[in-house]
Chain A
Amino acid sequence: MSQVFDIDFSAAHEGRVVGIDLGTTNSLVAFLDLTGPKVIPGADGNNLVPSVVSYTRDGEFVAGSAARQLLIEQPERTVYSVKRLMGRGAGDIQDEVALFPFRIAPGSDSVLKLQLGEKTLTPPEVSAQVLAQLKRNAEAYLGEPVTQAVITVPAYFNDAQRQATKDAGRIAGLEVLRLVNEPTAASLAYGLDKRNNGVVAVYDLGGGTFDISILRLHDGIFEVLATNGDTHLGGDDIDNRLMRIALEDIATEWGEDLTASATAVQKLRREVIKAKEHLSFVPVTRLEFEHNGKAYRREITRELFEGLIQDIVDRTLGPCRQCLADSGLTAAGIDEVVMVGGSTRIPMVRKAVEALFKAKPHTELNPDEVVALGAAVQAGILSGDVQDKLLLDVTPLSLGIETMGGVVSKLIHRNSTIPASASENFTTAVDGQRNVLIHVLQGERELVKDCRSLARFELKDLDPLPAGAARIEVKFLIDANGILSVSARDARTGKEQSVEVKPSYGLTEDQVEAMILESVEKAESDFNERQVREARVEADAILAATEKAKANDAWLDLGDGERQAIDVAVNQLLLVYHAGDHHLILAKIDELNQATMKLAETMMNSAVSSALKGTKI
């Protein structure tokens, strides 16, 4: 890899930027060193951190593999696949709630909230716990604070989903320097640009999302020509097919509806996933499941499995064809195909992709890790360590505004290279009108009801004028993260016009700020607690040493006053030991240290003299 990455660390270093793949099923953090991108393992040695979060009975958050265990033990306090809910409203998640055990909290009207035990959390707050775990892993591994990150998102994520991901980063205490699309990141990791200039298709089938991107590589420029996908299609759906069969079998064989027990369902899901993964390597496997003394066994052939998931695989091909068409290419124009995401280990998926693009797909890099590796390369680009590469990405969905009759007027078309902008003039309809409401939508359809509402922007405090006389120039700008901002200017006066944003889904700026504040307070109290614990450990050590010294002859050599001073210091330390202030504990440790100085010296001297005499103490 070393010849593939041209890394220059001479640029002034202001702390490392890490790359994070925040996945539906698993998440990873990676960084760039002199030889190329590396994934950072967690304390358990595992590169993959399960995207599972649990809120324990002690009121602590647990994320990662520990939380995955709690999924079975305390399913009602644990949540997984929360990425499926990012940037979505309470009204549009019926399909998810039907298939996943999400517990939606009451009062989830404007902002979706999940119930974890007695705690209610928004999806960005849940994701923030996963990000915080990755941040801790990186800090422990690198031995330095990590405050800046690149986070990957599915290419087909809309504005609200991107904003929610960015919010999650901020709540976790990370400055998100860039959101980068997962397939694009993967292409960076492969370093295909050093081998040749050509056209690459990246097929990314993950746990919950599907993306296809087509890029042109040219001397280190990665130009995305088009992208397409489905943000609710992935390995989870494949698992659900197997789950349905197993649940039906069990209902017949045991006469029992397993879905009544969340714990049993999670245990079964784990076995189903094992069987699915096994089938990528062997033509037949056994699904085995035991619960409450009952056993369920069944053979699953690859043939049966492929029959079950045929339509899921087919559903990925439509977006691939559309992406080709949008690139102005046919399959013959694709030089290389790259496979990303755990689900691309399934032989049937590989066959389908090979048949469509008429090219043997690249599978050299671990499909679970390649996105994180690419995110680390992008982090290197942003920090200035990587100078020879540049990513030019596109917006996956067209952006438009609502016009008369509920029709959407497109302003920025899908597959436009970002940053991209469009300007539109607005005026008033009635005399003296003071504000104008602009409804912004994302999607390819003609009618407002078929597109996704992003936000309503309100132009406020317009000068009162006769109807139609006002001329407000509104600029819509999609930045390099794929996130929209809107600014407005009075074209007559040139004056900046204030715009109030009302997002249709997701959090307002105030809500995010409040969550950041809460998480900072939490981090501070966590930090404080850790310091108290460390001070107590130190206190334990000196108290034990003092106790031991009292049995030494040196204790008797001390004067009464000296012995008394030591006893007082010990008692004072014991008094503050259980108070939650580490400063006090440390101060009393110091006093005890002072009081025992003479004792320690005497002990040292007698140890030395006995050593000289050749005797043991």
Chain B
Amino acid sequence: MTGPKLEGDYFRFFGYDRRLALDPDDLQKRFYELSRKFHPDRFARMPPADQQYALDATSILNDGYRILRDPVARAEYVLKQEGFDVGEQRSKDVPPELLEEVFELNMALEELRGGDASARGALEEAEKKFIAMRDRIDGELAALFLEHDAAPGRETLQRMRGVLNRRRYIRNLVAEVQKELA
């Protein structure tokens, strides 16, 4: 059977040029269309070679959809392909502009863990603040996506990486607060 080559990048597999601002509805539509074409269920009675192709193609399709539908994963994917170093270990350093908030947050977390229920209010406050920050960062990211698509360049990607690191840091904070509040 014929189909796309099972190499190359996820954007191409989905029929896109490499661009970061993707319309989620359009992406979903393409995902469903490609699934209808390549899913192993469609090849259950075909020769083994065709079945293998369907399995390989669909696993690439699914892996790609998982990356492309998530703006953060998508951006990290492009950064990695461009040779940038992206990884969890970079999120350990506190971004300087957050030093004060993080200090206060850690105090509140300590108090709550120490049995001081009054710290709950402060934590809920902090949760809201960090979620708002994350949403702001998502806005920044969306703007950077458009900037990248208009004129791709390392300088934009560099800034994007900075924003992503900050976002990862805040995401971890939110998760920590939510775990403590639950």
Give bound CA distance, A383 to B46, whole Å: 10
Give bound CA distance, A324 to B129, whole Å: 25
Least CB separation from A177: chain B residue: B44
Please indicate the chain A residues that have their CB under 8 angstroms from the CB of B172 in the complex: none
Contact A14 B45 (CB under 8 A): yes
Contact B41 A480 (CB under 8 A): yes
Known contacts A177-B44, A384-B45: A417-B32 contact under CB 8 Å: no
Query: CB of A497 within 8 A of chain B?
Result: no
Contact A479 B55 (CB under 8 A): yes
Known contacts A218-B32, A383-B45, A384-B45: A416-B62 contact under CB 8 Å: yes
Please indicate the chain B residues that have their CB under 8 angstroms from the CB of A177 in the complex: 44
**Per-residue 0/1 for A408-423: is the Cβ within 8 Å of any B Cβ (1 yes, 0 no)?**
0000000011111110
Q: Scan residues 44-89 of chain B and give those whose CB is less than 8 A from a CB of chain A.
A: 44-45, 55, 58-60, 62-63, 65-66
Contact B39 A392 (CB under 8 A): yes
Contact A419 B62 (CB under 8 A): yes
Report whether over half of chain B's contact residues are helix, strand or loop; otherwise say mixed.
helix
Query: CB of A382 within 8 A of chain B?
Result: yes
Give bound CA distance, A163 to B66, whole Å: 26
Query: CB of A391 within 8 A of chain B?
Result: yes
Contact B44 A178 (CB under 8 A): yes
Partner of A480, one of B40, B45, B66: B40
Please indicate the chain A residues that have their CB under 8 angstroms from the CB of B36 in the complex: 221, 390
Contact A381 B66 (CB under 8 A): no
Partner of A417, one of B41, B55, B65: B65
Query: CB of B91 within 8 A of chain A?
Result: no
Please indicate the chain B residues that have their CB under 8 angstroms from the CB of A420 in the complex: 59, 62-63, 66
Contact A480 B62 (CB under 8 A): no
Give bound CA distance, A464 to B41, whole Å: 42
Least CB separation from A11: chain B residue: B45
Least CB separation from A392: chain B residue: B35
Please indicate the chain B residues that have their CB under 8 angstroms from the CB of A416 in the complex: 62, 66
Give bound CA distance, A178 to B39, whole Å: 13
Least CB separation from B38: chain A residue: A419
Q: How many positions in chain A have a CB within 8 Å of any CB in the partner chain?
A: 25
Query: CB of A192 within 8 A of chain B?
Result: no
Query: CB of A491 within 8 A of chain B?
Result: no
Q: Scan residues 191-245 of chain A and give those whose CB is less than 8 A from a CB of chain B.
A: 218-219, 221, 223
Contact B45 A381 (CB under 8 A): no
**Per-residue 0/1 for A398-436: is the Cβ within 8 Å of any B Cβ (1 yes, 0 no)?**
000000000000000000111111100000000000000
Contact A382 B41 (CB under 8 A): yes
Partner of B41, one of A14, A178, A421: A178
Contact B35 A390 (CB under 8 A): yes
CB of B78 to closest CB in A, whole Å: 19
Partner of B66, one of A14, A382, A417: A417
Query: CB of A111 within 8 A of chain B?
Result: no
**Which of A14, A383, A418, A421 is packed against the most chain B CB atoms within 10 Å?**
A421
Contact A477 B62 (CB under 8 A): no
Please indicate the chain B residues that have their CB under 8 angstroms from the CB of A417 in the complex: 62, 65-66
Contact B44 A421 (CB under 8 A): no
Give bound CA distance, A50 to B36, whole Å: 37
Give bound CA distance, A418 to B65, whole Å: 11
**Which of B59, B65, B66 is packed against the most chain A CB atoms within 10 Å?**
B59
**Which of B35, B44, B62 is packed against the most chain A CB atoms within 10 Å?**
B44
Give bound CA distance, A177 to B60, whole Å: 22
Least CB separation from A219: chain B residue: B32
Give bound CA distance, A51 to B96, whole Å: 64
- Which A-B residue pairs are the 5 nearest by beta carbons? A382-B44, A419-B59, A417-B62, A421-B59, A480-B40
Q: A419-B59, A479-B40 are in contact. List 20 more A-B contacts (CB 8 A).
A: A178-B41, A221-B32, A221-B35, A223-B32, A378-B41, A384-B45, A390-B42, A391-B41, A416-B62, A418-B62, A419-B62, A420-B59, A420-B62, A420-B66, A421-B60, A421-B63, A477-B55, A480-B39, A480-B40, A480-B58
